[in-house]
Amino acid sequence: MNIDLCLKQIKEHVKKIEYLRYTNNGLLYWDKITQMPTKGNEYRSEVMAYIAGQIHSLSQDERLLRNLAFLEKQNPDDLSIRTNSMLRKIKRNYKYTYNIPVEEYKAYIHLISKAEEAWAISKKENNFEMLEPFLEKIVCYFRKFADYWGYENEPYDALLEYYEEGMTVKKIDAMFIELRNFIIDYLKKINGSKENIVSFDFNNKFIIDNQINMTNEILSMIGFDFEAGRVDQSIHPTILTCSNKDVRIVTNYDKNDFRKALTTALHEGGQGLYEQGIDDELYGSFLAESASMSILEAIADYYENIFGKSEEFLFLYYPKLIKYFGELENISEYDFYRSLNKVEPTFIRMDADELTYNLHIIIRYEIEKDLINGKIEVKDVKEIWNRKYKDYLGIEPPNDNLGILQDVHWFSGYFGYFPIYVLGNLYATQIYEKLKSEKTDYREIISEGRWIELQEWFKEKIFSHGATWNSEELIYLVTDENLKVDYFINYLKEKYDKIYNL
């Protein structure tokens, strides 16, 4: 066998797996959360579990394994960068699927589908106890998965590695403890500021059609291609990709507050730009996806916060906001900017400001880490959650909906995922500093509405390469440095020192 034939056979097989993945995780899941009748959930769960089983089986194909073994014997220097990256990606995928018994994996997928449905019901009834049996089973699965996947120091390392290659509890703890301590101390300084930042009462009926039009307009202005994407509604915003030519943004609208639609359009829109910017040639290699979930989140964080909550963006776009929402006519651009960036501890993660948001994530990280490592049990989670909110944010959730029931992540099987939100912030600000150094007229680019230039920079530096490099490699290639906490802390201080006159 020669290398070219081997690669041809591998890519043909990988495409079969990709077809099923995009169908299951993209199209079927999109339909499930946006269109599917409630009574369809049971059978849809069976269908998705079956397809997941087929993906699992295809990953163990004997010819695929023989071809991989052949390529691994070759000199890496004789293979292209993308080929070496593909091999690494396939081995990672193989590790996370083959090491779990197929029937156990199918049972887990079925459980997750049922747990998501139960979560929605529990939210309506404001009752976490209904979900405890589901969460206990899910935690049990992930403790076993950690053993299947392997780890050096503690089980939770295996889950971190799944989402962020090379990441460990030791690394996360070092960064998160520094960040947590800074935020808690800095929050005290902000609370002591004499600056009066008005909190506007947005409890009005903001017409949903206007919010939809605003969302579509913003997405178009930042470069989202509606011929290769669409926007739908569901209870929880997300993005689902069937290919770089079929990117589906899922958002929701609140008639009492348009700001959620504004920030979600920018957040999910940033991710949509990433997915649409991936090189066509990467399909059939497992590389036609983001470098990692944390890098994908970094782009979302940049567009939502660094870009979307900046004076330059808001001052330029404010007349259009007034066009959609006449209630803003009596609020100045600057007052709206300060209000949108106001620091105020809140129970709901999705409503949090840029500063305190990170404490929401750190709380979840600390809890799920201890759950997987066996230091606490599910029956203890609610009490620990409420205590940490009081200790870190100075507020205690009065009920489950404002506390432990607010996120679907654990009930969708996303253990090890929460840390990527903070990592995304760290990556975003480090990339932002590099962007400003190369685009010396950065402020003018935003204030003049030349936003496509930002998309083009990101596409060249990050989007087009897909998963050719992992996060650690990519951040060094883009910024010439390893990941640092300093950039994010400095960004927060610069922004809020000015707003609060510290």
Q: Where are the domains of the chain?
A: 3-98, 170-500
Number of H helices and E strands in the chain, helices first, is: 21, 3
CATH fold of 170-500: Neurolysin; domain 3 (1.10.1370)
Task: Tell me the pLDDT tens digit for each residue of 338-387.
Answer: 999 999 999 999 889 999 999 999 999 999 999 999 999 999 999 999 99
Stated pTM of the model: 0.91
* Per-residue model confidence (pLDDT) at position 353: 94
* Per-residue model confidence (pLDDT) at position 102: 80
Determine how many CB atoms are found less than 10 A away from the CB of residue 77: 6
* Angle formed by the axes of helices 419-438 and 452-461, nearest 10°: 110
Share of the chain above pLDDT 70, in %: 100
b vs e for 105-124, b when ≥16 Cβ sit within 10 Å of the residue's Cβ? bbebbbbbbebbbbbeebbe
For the segment 5-25, the average pLDDT, to the nearest whole number, is: 92
For the segment 437-446, the average pLDDT, to the nearest whole number, is: 96
Task: Tell me the pLDDT tens digit for each residue of 111-133.
Answer: 998 999 899 899 999 999 999 99
CA 401 to chain centroid, in Å, comes to 22
Measured distance CA(30)–CA(237) in Å, rounded: 11
* Per-residue model confidence (pLDDT) at position 483: 96
For the annotated catalytic residues, the residue numbers are 268
| Tokens (6 digits) for 454 | 């930002």
Task: Tell me the pLDDT tens digit for each residue of 388-440.
Answer: 999 999 999 999 999 999 999 999 999 999 999 999 999 999 999 999 999 99
466 near 288, Cβ under 8 Å?
Answer: yes
* Per-residue model confidence (pLDDT) at position 94: 79
For the segment 298-302, the average pLDDT, to the nearest whole number, is: 97
Counted residue by residue, the chain has a size of 502
Q: Which of 20, 484, 501, 455 is nearest to 273 (CA)?
A: 455
Confidence of residue 99 (pLDDT cuts 50, 70, 90): confident
Task: Tell me the pLDDT tens digit for each residue of 57-85.
Answer: 888 888 988 998 899 888 888 899 999 99
Backbone angles phi, psi at 241, to 5 degrees: -120, 125
Tell me which DSSP letter residue 449 carries.
Answer: T
- List Cβ neighbours of 383 (8 Å cut-off, separation of 6 or more): none
Task: Tell me the pLDDT tens digit for each residue of 163-176.
Answer: 999 999 999 999 99
* Per-residue model confidence (pLDDT) at position 49: 85
Q: How many CA atoms lie within 13 A of 13 on its CB side?
A: 23
- Strand-pair partners of 250: 232, 238
Measured distance CA(119)–CA(405) in Å, rounded: 8
* Per-residue model confidence (pLDDT) at position 24: 92
Confidence of residue 322 (pLDDT cuts 50, 70, 90): very high
285 near 14, Cβ under 8 Å?
Answer: yes
Backbone angles phi, psi at 243, to 5 degrees: 180, 175
* Per-residue model confidence (pLDDT) at position 59: 82
- Strand-pair partners of 248: 230, 240
For the segment 5-34, the average pLDDT, to the nearest whole number, is: 92
259 near 303, Cβ under 8 Å?
Answer: no
Q: How, if at all, do strands 238-243 and 229-233 pair? A: unpaired
Measured distance CA(128)–CA(119) in Å, rounded: 8
Alpha helix ranges (H) inside 195-330 = 208-222, 259-276, 293-301, 311-324
Confidence of residue 92 (pLDDT cuts 50, 70, 90): confident
Q: How, if at all, do strands 246-251 and 229-233 pair? A: parallel
416 near 139, Cβ under 8 Å?
Answer: no
Task: Share the mean pLDDT of the chain.
Answer: 93
